[in-house]
Amino acid sequence: MPLTRLSVTGVRNLHPVTLHPAPRINLVYGANASGKTSLLEAIHLLGLARSFRTNKLQPVIQYAESQCTVFAELVSDQGETTQIGVQRSANSEFVIRINGQNVRSAAQLAETMPLQLINPDSFRLLEGAPKQRRQFLDWGVFHVEHGFLAAWQRLQKSLKQRNSLLRRGRIDSLLLAPWELELVQAANQIDAYRQSYIGRLKPVFEQVLADMLTIDGLTLSYFRGWDKEKPLADVLAQQFERDCQLGHTQAGPQRADLRVRVNNLNAVDVLSRGQQKLLVSALKIAQGYLLKQQYGPQSCVFLVDDLPSELDAHHRQALCRLLEQLDCQVFITCVEPEQLTGLWQSETPKKLFHVEHGHIAQTD
Ligand SMILES: Nc1ncnc2c1ncn2[C@@H]1O[C@H](COP(=O)(O)OP(=O)(O)OP(=O)(O)O)[C@@H](O)[C@H]1O
């Protein structure tokens, strides 16, 4: 669902503002440090209850202010309006409201407004720890498999219990057995969801990537977190002594990974920065397409920070074309508007916003 109204107060250097974004393409331009990324950060807070720049929310609140608030109205294809708001005070909890009701879980926000971010840190998807890639994978699985969240919560609980029993000096197998059973069941369910999702994602990803560039020898494979030939129960039994020594469970979906390789080498070690940016963008856009297949157009909001950096004009255009074809709402930042204007079909609804010293004004 696209945002039709967005109000931001007390976020970074931004002056309080209410915007009426276009349902499709929103170009946000301005000089360095004007506040472009802060605007995307505000939308990110709204969709995920957290910043993409910091784990803490305090730095997001404007220096002289005691709280920040982001509020939006989203309108579905059928004209149904949803209101969501998030507020964070310097000394209190994060408050999330959907249609006037307080909500406790950020998962509900994520469900209401699926959000994808492409920014210079997106490279971490390739170069960072497996956790980043699991998060990427699970974003998609969470949105298309309704049983995923419950299975994930079961896994977390059983893992916590097993790990705490492992750390005790003497293991009581009667206590351990039910948690291992629970762990194995949740693990198999999560693995099945992930495998099915990857099976659908791969061809879409390959198609999206092929529309931007060719990378010979590229493979995307999924490692489920334990030996693919053995049941998890057997692996847990085999690794039991080692798990006891380490005090945690080494095998399971909590160790899963997505491996992106080129001619059997890590993609990050061989691809140029521009190729990496396009590859990560293709992965995220492919997720957007899967969401669109399931829920129809405009099911996802894309935030794209600093799109022009690392990309030549040809690839910039190819990426913009894919974002446009995805038929969802996009917020893209750049320094000079000429870098991104003229790349869109004339009939695609678009708006241009200029950010200057924290003031945002619509210019087109
Ligand atoms: N809590 C805060 N309160 C007020 N200002 C802040 C706060 N945190 C950061 N700033 C300032 O906000 C400004 C805007 O930063 P932002 O990253 O949004 O700029 P930008 O337009 O994306 O810049 P660039 O093009 O360089 O990426 C910066 O000058 C930054 O120092």
Residues 151, 225, single domain; the answer is yes
Angle at 62 between CA 60 and CA 65, to 5 degrees: 125
Do 30 and 99 fall within a single domain? yes
Nearest CA to ligand 1 atom 18: 35
Ligand 1 centroid distance, CA of 359 (Å): 12
Shared domain for 95 and 208, answered yes or no, is: no
pLDDT band at 43 (very low <50, low <70, confident <90, very high): very high
Return d(Cα 86, Cα 44) in angstroms, integer: 11
- Measured from the Cα of 60, ligand 1's closest atom is 1
Q: 152 with 282, same domain?
A: yes
Residues of the domain holding 266: 122-299
Statement to judge: residues 164 and 232 lie in one domain:
yes
Identify the CATH number of the domain in which residue 268 sits. 1.20.1050.90
The CA–CA distances, whole Å, from 176 to 151, 180, 182 equal 19, 6, 10
Tell me: pLDDT of 170 over 80.
no
Q: Is the ipTM of this complex over 0.85?
A: yes
How many whole angstroms separate alpha carbon 52 and alpha carbon 44? Answer: 7
Residues 6 or more apart in contact with residue 150 via CB below 8 angstroms: none
**338 lies in the same domain as 271:** no
Helix (H, G, I), strand (E, B) or coil at 85: strand
Q: Identify whether the C-beta of residue 268 lies closer than 8 Å to the C-beta of residue 111.
A: no
Enumerate residues lining ligand 1, CB below 6 A. Answer: 12-13, 30, 32-38, 59, 61-63, 335
Q: Measure 319 CA to ligand 1 centroid, in angstroms.
A: 26
C-alpha distances (whole Å) from 347 to each of 24, 25, 72, 343 are 11, 11, 25, 12
Query: Does the annotation flag 33 for ligand binding?
Result: yes
Q: Which atom of ligand 1 is nearest to the CA of 64?
A: 3
Convert the pLDDT of each residue in 177-217 to its tens digit: 999 999 999 999 999 999 999 999 999 999 999 999 999 99
Alpha carbon of residue 167 to chain centroid: 34
Residue at a domain's end among 299, 328, 355: 299
Residues 165 and 277 placed together within one structural domain of the fold: yes
35 is in an annotated binding site: yes
Best of 14, 28, 29, 38 to mutate for ligand 1, by most ligand atoms within 8 A of CB?
38
Count how many residues are written for the chain.
364
Asked if the model's pLDDT at residue 91 lies above 80, the reply is no
Q: Whole-angstrom Cα distance, residue 201 to residue 195? A: 10
Model confidence over 300-341: pLDDT tens digits? 999 999 988 889 999 999 999 999 999 999 999 999 999 888
- 170-179, long-range: CB < 8 A, 24+ apart: 171/244
Sign for the pseudo-dihedral over CA of 111, 116, 121, 127 = positive
44 closest CA partner among 109, 120, 123: 109
More confidently predicted of 297 and 90? 297
**How many Å apart are CA 257 and CA 225, to the nearest integer?**
7
Q: Distance, CA 10 to ligand 1 centroid (Å)?
A: 13
Q: Is 49 part of any known ligand binding site?
A: no
Query: Taking the model in full, what pTM does it have?
Result: 0.95
Give the CATH number for residue 69: 3.40.50.300
Q: Are residues 305 and 294 in the same domain?
A: no
Burial grade of 170 (CB within 10 A; 0-12, 13-18, 19 or more): exposed
User: 119 vs 71, 138, 260, 302, 309, CA distance in Å?
Assistant: 23, 19, 19, 11, 10
Separation of CA 42 from chain center: 15
Same domain, yes or no, for 168 and 27?
Answer: no
What is the per-residue pLDDT across 1-32, written as a single tens digit (0 to 9) for each? 899 999 999 999 999 999 999 999 999 999 99
Domain identity same for 163 and 245: yes
- In this structure, are residues 164 and 175 in contact, taking their beta carbons and an 8 Å threshold? no
Clarify whether residues 148 and 41 are in a common domain. no
Which of 11, 36, 54, 360 is the best mutation target for the ligand 1 pocket, counting ligand atoms within 8 Å of the beta carbon and taking the most? 36
Both 288 and 331 in one domain: the answer is: no
- The residue among 268, 299, 330 that closes a domain is 299
Last residue of a domain, one of 258, 284, 299: 299
Number of domains present in the structure of the chain = 2
**125-133: Cβ within 8 A, 24+ apart:** 125/280, 125/283, 126/260, 126/266, 126/267, 126/268, 126/271, 126/276, 126/279, 126/280, 127/268, 130/255, 130/256, 130/257, 130/258, 133/257, 133/258
Q: How confident is the model at residue 296 (pLDDT cuts 50, 70, 90)?
A: confident
